[in-house]
Structure 1
Amino acid sequence: MAKSDETGGNREITIFHNPNCSTSRKALQMIRDAGAEPKVVEYLKTGWTRPQLEGLLARMGKRPRDILRVRGTPAEELGLTRPDASDDEILDAMTQHPVLVERPIVASAKGVALGRPVEAIQPLL
C-alpha cells in the first residue's frame, strides 16, 4: 500500500472503520450520501503501523492521547491513561492493540478528522 493511501493523502476518501460501531457506520453512510465511495479500512482486522498513525496524527494536528480510546479497551490496564504516559508508549500500544484507536478516522485530500461527533467529517467531503 502506498504511503499516500495509508494516510489518505490522495484524492480518495478513506475511512478507518469499525463496522460494530454505530458512529463509524453513520460516518460511512454520511460519506456515501455525499456521493463518494470511500476506501474502507477495517483497522481491527488490518491493524495499524506506526508510520500510518504518525501520518494521520500529523495531518490532524493531534497527539496519540487525543485519539486514544479508553472505553472498552485495555488502555487503563496498560497504564496509558497515566498523565505521564508518553506519545511513544501510546503509539506502541496502538500498534499492538488496534482497538485503542478511537473511531472512525476519515482522511481525504481536504484533511483528516476523528469522526466524533460524526459531523466533524463534513468538511472533508
Structure 2
Amino acid sequence: MTIKIYHNPRCSKSRQTLALIREHGLEPEIIEYLKIPPTPAELKRIIKSLGVPVREVIRSGEAEYRDLGLADTSIPDARLIELICQHPKLLQRPIVVSGQGARIGRPPEAIEAILP
C-alpha cells in the first residue's frame, strides 16, 4: 500500500507525523508540497478523501489568506482550490493519504486510523 505525506520539513507536526509513520515500519512517499504543489485535480481528490469542506484545508492564519481575501465565503470551492495550488503555503499540513483514506496530521496520531 502506498502512503503519501504532503510534508513541510520546517513544521514540527509534519516531522512528528512522518516519524510516526516510520515507527509503524512504513516508508511513505514524501511530497514537499511547497516545492511541488498538488494540481487542482489532485487537491480535489485529497479533499474528497478527507471528507471535509475545502475551507478546512486552508490555513487561515497565513498572510496570503488575508491578502487574497479568502475570508469571503462567496468564493466558490473551485476557485479556492486553484488559489491553494497557486499559494501552497495555504494548505493545511501534514496531510497523509493511504488506500484507507486521508487525514490531516493534527494531532499526528490522527493518521493512525488510515495506516495498515
Which bracket does the TM-score occupy, shorter chain normalised?
A: over 0.9
Cα shift readout 1:4-54 (whole Å, capped 9, x = no counterpart): xxxxxxx21110000000000000000000110111000000112000001
8 Å CA contact 1:15–1:105 kept in 2: the answer is: yes
Question: Aligned ranges for residues 31-42 of structure 1 at < 5 Å?
Answer: 31-42=21-32
SS in 2 for 1:75: helix
**Equivalent residue pairs, number:** 115
Residue 17 (str. 1) matches residue 16 (str. 2):
no
Matches of residues 1-125 of structure 1 in structure 2 within 5 Å? Answer: 11-125=1-115
Which residue identity lines up with residue 26 of structure 1 in the other structure?
A: Q
Structure 1 CA distance for aligned equivalents of residues 74 and 98 of structure 2? 32
Look up the SS of the partner of 1:19 in the other structure. coil
Q: Which runs of 5+ in 1 are unaligned?
A: 1-10
TM-score by length of 1: 0.87
Any runs of at least 4 consecutive aligned residues in structure 1 with deviations exceeding 4 A, and if so which?
Answer: none
Letter in 1 for 2:92: E
State the identity as a percent. Answer: 39
Q: Hey, what's the Cα distance between the residues in 1 that align with 2:53 and 2:91?
A: 12
**Structure-2-length-normalised TM-score:** 0.93
Q: Distance in 2 between matches of 1:72 and 1:66?
A: 14
Please, which runs of 5 or more residues in structure 2 have no aligned partner? none
